[in-house]
Amino acid sequence: MDAATLWQRYQDWLYYHEGLEFYLDVSRMRFDDAFVAQLQPKFEKAFQDMAALEGGAIANPDEDRMVGHYWLRNPDLAPTPEIKHDITQTIEQIETFTRKIHSGAIHPPQAPRFTDILSIGIGGSALGPQFVAEALSPDFPPLGIHFIDNTDPAGIDRVLTRLRNRLASTLVIVISKSGETPEPRNGMLEVKRTYAGQNLDFSHYAIAITTPDSKLDQLAQSERWLATFPMFDWVGGRTSEMSAVGLLPAALQGINIQAMLAGAKEMDDATRVPDIKNNPAALLALSWYYAGNGRGEKDMVLLPYKDSLLLFSRYLQQLVMESLGKEKDLDGNVVNQGIAVYGNKGSTDQHAYVQQLREGVPNFFATFIEVLEDRQGSSPELEPGTTSGDYLSGFLQGTRQALYDNHRDSITATIPQVNPRTVGALIALYERAVGLYGSLINVNAYHQPGVEAGKKAAAAVLGLQKRVLQILEDESRSISLAELAEKAQATDQVETIYKILRHLYANKRGVILNGNFGDPRSLTVSIN
């Protein structure tokens, strides 16, 4: 395509939202009109599916659940007055609680104010709050936030060591929709012990965000924690940023949550339009479908040219991959769908993997996120007429051009500024695009059956560890791994047993291994 035709294509396909000052440019995706026409019927169905979902249909059939994240920012859309009430009341509860924390009306027993937040959660109960904190937290927030999002003991130590001198003024938020996920439970138990070690009564510092009556909720009630906030059955973890999961930590950090909700609502209104060309989420879904032949054949590389958006790709990784990465479609056919997502930020990544993007395996399409405002206030000129922001902007344009010239497609989304409203809008945009794309490829975008397999296998390993330790205790002599496996009635799991023992041995947990460590068959094991 020559420059004039490309410029024409840019203008033909440019989407602009006046209220949000948001642009979406899909002109560098090489679909033609015939392709769009061919997808039209699928889109009509997708728009209908979405309308039904927003109306309260059971859009997640496997789990028999409604899918209501769009109601969170427009409670008038909620299908029942009870749900509407739950949403508005939770937001009020968050705002009232936040005011009391900021004013010191609620304060820790031994300090006039809370100074820090320790957020414990994983997956959808961590990624949204982490992304939003990185994007929007003020430089000097009323409360600084820290995260434990794993059951890694060294990771837990690191966070707790850094907070050691401020634990007495640190608010702990335990976030888990199910209230049963092992990682946050372990994090919570370890943090609780650390509080006890400093003679602090954990219940005066702890808050739970969870589904009412979950195990976590029951614990919080029975131990009389400082507060609990509800998570709703009809909100999925990966779309929970606009529920208490995301709003409470954000509000406590001094982020304007009403602006986040308003931005999301505005984007929801824009992405409800049943017309591909005038709906930015549909344009994204169309582009994704085009890029990967509706089968995820190309990866989505996210390149926000703004440091504060660094965690957007990580956040989208769960939203996109957990939603779309499915073995079966809604009719039960094996389809092995999904779109892989990765990326960090530009121009940083230009000095890392963009070499491969430009010249290597053409198995991706890029998404540039451009922010028009360089910084608050003016920029110094580093050379006559040129600022560092000009470089950033030039690098974005240059990389987009260089990729296109080498037949690598890209999408560019442009926002005026990184602020609560635009971040709310970006989240809403991708939530809707994922929902629409899920309909196009006929998968349930709202369940995650594949996650269970790993959880069950992990639980089995822990069960086996208990059995093995019991056997070793009863034995009081050194035995081979094969013999141990036989006694544990797990002859098909010698490798697992070996790894359990190696881990226990490395952590000096009373297991003694003897033999050649490079030849596991030679090992004998006993317990002291």
Residues that bind ligand G6P (CB under 6 A): 122-125, 176-178, 181, 184, 237-238, 322, 448, 451
- Distances in Å between the alpha carbon of 62 and those of 336, 350, 352, 448? 17, 42, 41, 10
Instruction: Pick between residue 115 and residue 218 the one whose CB is nearest to ligand G6P.
Output: 218
CB of 335 to ligand G6P, least distance (A): 20
**Residue with nearest beta carbon to ligand G6P:** 237
CB of 526 to ligand G6P, least distance (A): 37
How far is 430 from 20, CA to CA, in rounded Å?
Answer: 15
| Residue tagged 């390149």 (tokens) | 303
Instruction: Pick between residue 145 and residue 497 the one whose CB is nearest to ligand G6P.
Output: 145
CB of 437 to ligand G6P, least distance (A): 18
| C-beta of residue 234 within 8 angstroms of C-beta of residue 65 | yes
How far is 389 from 387, CA to CA, in rounded Å?
Answer: 5
Residues with active-site annotation = 322, 351, 455
CB of 322 to ligand G6P, least distance (A): 6
Q: Which of 131, 88, 138, 389 is nearest to 244 (CA)?
A: 88
How far is 471 from 51, CA to CA, in rounded Å?
Answer: 58
Kindly state the tokens that stand for 212.
């009412």
Instruction: Pick between residue 213 and residue 297 the one whose CB is nearest to ligand G6P.
Output: 213
How far is 182 from 1, CA to CA, in rounded Å?
Answer: 54
Q: Which of 220, 210, 57 is nearest to 124 (CA)?
A: 210
Q: Which DSSP letter does residue 168 get?
A: G
How far is 288 from 221, CA to CA, in rounded Å?
Answer: 45
Kindly report the CA angle at 445 between 443 and 449, in degrees rounded to 5?
90
CB of 111 to ligand G6P, least distance (A): 29
β-bridge mates for residue 349, sequence order = none
Q: HSE of 79 in the Cβ direction (CA atoms, 13 Å)?
A: 13
CB of 349 to ligand G6P, least distance (A): 27
